[in-house]
Chain A
Amino acid sequence: MSEIRSSVEKRRFRGVIVIASLSVLSFMYFGFIRPGKGDTTYGFVLNNEWVLIKEWIIASATGAKIFSGISLIASVSAILAFRKGREIIIPVGFASFGILMSFITWAASGKFIPLTGLLQGALLLAVPLIFGSMSGLICERSGVINIAIEGQLLASAFVSGVVASLTHQALWGLIAAPIAGAAISFLLATFAIKFSVDQVILGFVLNVLVIGLTDFLYKKLLVPYQSTWNTAPTFGKIEVPILSKIPILGPIFFSQTIVVYLMFAIVAAITFALFKTKWGLRTRAIGEHPTAADTVGIDVNKLRFKNVIIAGLIAGVGGAYYTVASVGAFGKEMTAGAGFIALAALIFGKWSPIGAVFAALLFGFADNLQSTLTIIGVSIPSEFMLMVPYIATIIAVTGLVGRVRAPAADGIPYLRGGSH
């Protein structure tokens, strides 16, 4: 055990060293070797907030030096904290933030960065990821691996688009979507729990099934009969009175569609329920030690079944986001791998609700930063910026987040009296 711990520690330390080296690198590169020549302008105003914060203009090179400086200091304190055996997450967070801002300030030299818009877009891109990772969280905390998040999102996006088109009501789309998510969950639960099929393989196959079905129906029904089948109305933004006028935070958090508010509520509810209720305790028990849970009278497979269905309902709301809360019409394979990114966010966030949400936000941010920088015309090939979230995930899972441990019984079917 101690050997395992020390190797994990070594890995974490390597992660800290990587961050520190990146700080030094960004300080040198963005600040001295290839400093930006112009000024970088940050804008903060999006709508008509109460206080219209003035634009912040800084010479690109100076800004890069300041932000890299912050990350250097944070890196040093991370190393010191590690030496003393303290938690390193906060200094590492600051260091990463510094490197990121240093990069943006450098890349956008002579350009305008709409910061509030950037953050708002990041949140929106993260919405389906957060729903997806919450679905994965509930499944996996109960001991069922859920690779089928992509399928859940895609199926529910399809169904909500179709139902909203047929009824001309976005609301019916939102109501139908969780049912579609739950239907995929039903298949997952039935085959995983009742028929003990390998869950990774099963999830993969379910994704293929949903992609095939939605592509097929899209071409067969949605394209030729578009006016009836694929013209979903969308929800409008709901401005929360007063709060939506707060500078920066208002447009990001309080001027959104109902689906985003639902997301806030669901994340809060899951976090509370998982750690403070009987259901949560039981769920964690069947994910970690099903035999012990069975001994105290919990029907392991029944609760797993129930939880997988709940997970599908949640993912379904995320699927509805694609259609009734953003573009309306369903597009072929419109989820474009978001389910897998949600899965990565779950693992990145160490199977905790808050961790997964932050990871998803990070992915959303990287994604939106990429498109923002492309729009303002930064000379870095957009392909490389598109790679960033994936490279970040690899760095994260290979060391930075420390020991990543899934629930102990994750993926193992529970057979009474003769389990693995």
Chain B
Amino acid sequence: MRNSLSKFGQAIKLPGLSFALAFTLTGFIIAFSDSKVLSKIGSPLEFIKSAGATAGNAYLALFQGSIFDINLTKGHNFFQGFYPLSETIVIATPLILTGLSVALAFKSGLFNIGAQGQFIFGAIGASYVGFHFQLPIVIHVIAAALAGMALASIWGGAVGLLKAKTGAHEVILTIMMNYIAGYFILWILKTSQFLRPGRIDPIAPEVNQSARLPLLAGANLRIHAGIFIALVAALFVWWLLTKTTIGYKFRAVGANGQAAKTAGISVPFVLTATMAICGALAGLGGAVQVLGSEHALNADIAGSFGFDAITVALLGRAQPLGTVFAALLFGALHAGGRTMQSNTGVPLDIVLVTQALIVLFIAAPTFVRFIFKLKKMSSSAGLTSKGWNG
């Protein structure tokens, strides 16, 4: 028992220190960019006090905006206080799916920067089936989600196929395809098929009621059934990677492509299959976003879900469970960031800095050890991607 406890302590020591370091640094940035704090620079004591208060207030707002806010319970039932938590989960849901897309690619030795584009195609497919067809309840949701996944899977699979057939690097391919997808959605929203009647701004018709994911906690909270889809997807990825032959092949190619080839694994197949599944996962993220919370396709539907997915997967060390937790954390940072911005005037964008710092420190265990003067620490090997020639 004791042994396993200390093991657990070892395992969370590094992430724990990374978090502490990231939040401390962010706190400094918040405090030192505040004009009220800076005006007190003459008296050191006042200065420290004011800096602490500014950063403290920002973090308090971050918590209130992401987990629970007592103020929201006034005049409502107690449950309404969890509105922020609901928001956190609403943001985390697509992030889990795009994060899994990036994580799975990492396992096969691929760096999938293309979750953004795949997300867009997933959203387009789901939106079209959602508003264009009249189908029975349940079936409609499934059909819409599958349509999105299929489109995104083709978009993603193309990357694997091109890499396998031509040796082009997936980082370049996916970056380019993100731009193409970004322009494609702008164009398609102007077409008569997608433009909502009576509107000139780029927004598609709302998906039919039958194609919407059910809300989980009443009409006042936005949390929807998509979170279960995301969790099932995480379970699926875990199962795929650890319990199936194809998952074993994925990991074999990821660990050493040359050895896998020698062992008789078809590398082109693995690359294409991986990217097709990655595409489907990110596409499901887009579908869930449309069917669960947005209900209508718009030009900004993808936000930064595809890019945040990369930091999510890196923080989750490309493990399904880790990705879920990382997505929840980033969902909380984003939801809380909004409240922080409106309550304390600290711009939401600081959340990106925190995100980047956490991932940076997690990816650099030797650095964290160096900072905290730790001699030895058990840590699993750092995540790696493959260079241009890989």
Q: Is A87 an interface residue (CB 8 A)?
A: no
Q: Is the CB of B29 within 8 A of A216?
A: yes
Given contacts A201-B383, A383-B186, A406-B387, contact A398 B357 (CB under 8 A): no
Q: Is B67 an interface residue (CB 8 A)?
A: no
Residues in B neighbouring A262, C-beta threshold 8 A: none
Q: Is the CB of A191 within 8 A of B364?
A: yes
Q: Is the CB of A386 within 8 A of B350?
A: no
Contact for B111 among A200, A208, A344, A408, CB less than 8 A: A200
Contact for B180 among A145, A201, A381, A387, CB less than 8 A: A387
Name the residue of chain B whose CB is nearest to the CB of A223. B347
Contact for A406 among B34, B179, B187, B389, CB less than 8 A: B389
Residues in A neighbouring B349, C-beta threshold 8 A: 211-212, 215-216, 218-219
Residues in B neighbouring A221, C-beta threshold 8 A: 33
Name the residue of chain A whose CB is nearest to the CB of B158. A394
Q: Is the CB of A201 within 8 A of B385?
A: yes
Q: Is the CB of A383 within 8 A of B184?
A: yes
Name the residue of chain A whose CB is nearest to the CB of B355. A208
Q: Is A5 an interface residue (CB 8 A)?
A: no
The distance in angstroms between the C-alpha atoms of A175 and B180, with both chains bound, is 36
Contact for A397 among B168, B314, B363, B385, CB less than 8 A: B168
Residues in B neighbouring A394, C-beta threshold 8 A: 162, 168, 173, 176-177
Residues in A neighbouring B385, C-beta threshold 8 A: 198, 200-201
The distance in angstroms between the C-alpha atoms of A204 and B171, with both chains bound, is 11
Q: Is B351 an interface residue (CB 8 A)?
A: yes
The distance in angstroms between the C-alpha atoms of A327 and B139, with both chains bound, is 53
Q: Is the CB of B357 within 8 A of A209?
A: yes
Q: Is B57 an interface residue (CB 8 A)?
A: no
The distance in angstroms between the C-alpha atoms of A219 and B344, with both chains bound, is 13
Q: Is the CB of A212 within 8 A of B356?
A: yes
Q: What 1/0 mask marks residues of chain A from 377 to 420 whose CB sits below 8 Å from any chain B CB? A: 00001011011001101100111000011101011100000000
Q: Is B190 an interface residue (CB 8 A)?
A: yes
Given contacts A206-B356, A209-B356, contact A384 B166 (CB under 8 A): no
Contact for B356 among A205, A344, A391, CB less than 8 A: A205
Q: Is the CB of A347 within 8 A of B172?
A: yes
Q: What 1/0 mask marks residues of chain A from 221 to 260 whose CB sits below 8 Å from any chain B CB? A: 1000000000000000000000000000000000000000
Query: Which of B113, B370, B384 is most buried by chain A, counting CB atoms within 10 A of its CB?
Result: B384
Q: Is A271 an interface residue (CB 8 A)?
A: no
Residues in A neighbouring B167, C-beta threshold 8 A: 11, 404
- Size of the B side of the interface (Cβ < 8 Å), in residues, is 55
Residues in A neighbouring B215, C-beta threshold 8 A: none
Residues in A neighbouring B78, C-beta threshold 8 A: none
Given contacts A198-B383, A390-B180, A411-B387, contact A340 B175 (CB under 8 A): yes
Chain A residues 351 to 381 lying within 8 A of chain B, measured CB to CB, are 381
Query: Which of A212, A217, A386 is most buried by chain B, counting CB atoms within 10 A of its CB?
Result: A212
Q: Is B382 an interface residue (CB 8 A)?
A: yes
Q: Is the CB of B169 within 8 A of A347?
A: yes
Shortest distance between the CB of A140 and any CB in chain B (Å): 8
Q: Is the CB of A390 within 8 A of B177?
A: yes
Residues in B neighbouring A147, C-beta threshold 8 A: 171
Q: Is the CB of B364 within 8 A of A215?
A: no
Q: Is the CB of A390 within 8 A of B179?
A: yes
Given contacts A195-B370, A219-B349, A411-B388, contact A202 B33 (CB under 8 A): no
- Size of the A side of the interface (Cβ < 8 Å), in residues, is 52
Shortest distance between the CB of B242 and any CB in chain A (Å): 23
Q: Is the CB of A204 within 8 A of B357?
A: no
Given contacts A215-B347, A398-B168, A410-B388, contact A198 B173 (CB under 8 A): no
Name the residue of chain B whose CB is nearest to the CB of A403. B167
Contact for B387 among A337, A391, A412, CB less than 8 A: A412
Q: Is the CB of B370 within 8 A of A209?
A: no
The distance in angstroms between the C-alpha atoms of A220 and B347, with both chains bound, is 7
Residues in B neighbouring A206, C-beta threshold 8 A: 356, 360
Q: Is A62 an interface residue (CB 8 A)?
A: no
Chain B residues 7 to 30 lying within 8 A of chain A, measured CB to CB, are 29
Residues in A neighbouring B168, C-beta threshold 8 A: 394, 397-398, 404
Q: Is A196 an interface residue (CB 8 A)?
A: yes
Contact for A391 among B113, B180, B367, B370, CB less than 8 A: B180
Q: Is the CB of B351 within 8 A of A393?
A: no
Shortest distance between the CB of A161 and any CB in chain B (Å): 17
Contact for A343 among B172, B311, B363, CB less than 8 A: B172
Q: Is the CB of B389 within 8 A of A387?
A: no
Residues in B neighbouring A204, C-beta threshold 8 A: 113, 310
Residues in A neighbouring B227, C-beta threshold 8 A: none
Q: Is B195 an interface residue (CB 8 A)?
A: no
Q: Is B209 an interface residue (CB 8 A)?
A: no
Shortest distance between the CB of B31 and any CB in chain A (Å): 12
Q: Is B353 an interface residue (CB 8 A)?
A: yes
Q: Is B133 an interface residue (CB 8 A)?
A: no
Given contacts A343-B172, A387-B180, contact A205 B314 (CB under 8 A): yes
Q: Is A199 an interface residue (CB 8 A)?
A: yes
Contact for A200 among B359, B366, B367, B387, CB less than 8 A: B387
Residues in A neighbouring B311, C-beta threshold 8 A: 205, 208
Contact for A393 among B176, B359, B386, B390, CB less than 8 A: B176
Q: Is the CB of B367 within 8 A of A191?
A: yes
Q: Is A59 an interface residue (CB 8 A)?
A: no
Residues in A neighbouring B172, C-beta threshold 8 A: 343-344, 347, 393, 397
Q: Is A266 an interface residue (CB 8 A)?
A: no
The distance in angstroms between the C-alpha atoms of A347 and B177, with both chains bound, is 16
Given contacts A217-B33, A390-B177, contact A198 B388 (CB under 8 A): no
Q: Is the CB of B382 within 8 A of A337?
A: no
Q: Is the CB of A399 within 8 A of B166?
A: yes
Given contacts A201-B383, A216-B33, A217-B33, contact A387 B363 (CB under 8 A): no
Q: Is the CB of B183 within 8 A of A387?
A: yes
Q: Is A197 an interface residue (CB 8 A)?
A: yes
The distance in angstroms between the C-alpha atoms of A163 and B366, with both chains bound, is 35
**Known contacts A205-B359, A398-B168, then 9 further A-B pairs from the complex at CB < 8 Å, ordered by chain A residue:** A195-B366, A200-B171, A201-B385, A205-B363, A216-B349, A218-B349, A343-B172, A399-B166, A410-B388
10 contacts across the A-B interface (CB closer than 8 A): A147-B171, A195-B370, A197-B364, A198-B363, A198-B382, A209-B353, A211-B349, A340-B175, A344-B172, A398-B168
Measured CB to CB, the residues of A under 8 A from B are: 11, 140, 145, 147, 191, 195-202, 204-206, 208-209, 211-213, 215-221, 337, 340, 343-344, 347, 381, 383-384, 386-387, 390-391, 393-394, 397-399, 404-406, 408, 410-412
The 10 closest A-B pairs by CB, nearest first: A212-B352, A411-B387, A406-B388, A215-B349, A209-B356, A383-B187, A219-B347, A212-B353, A208-B356, A390-B176
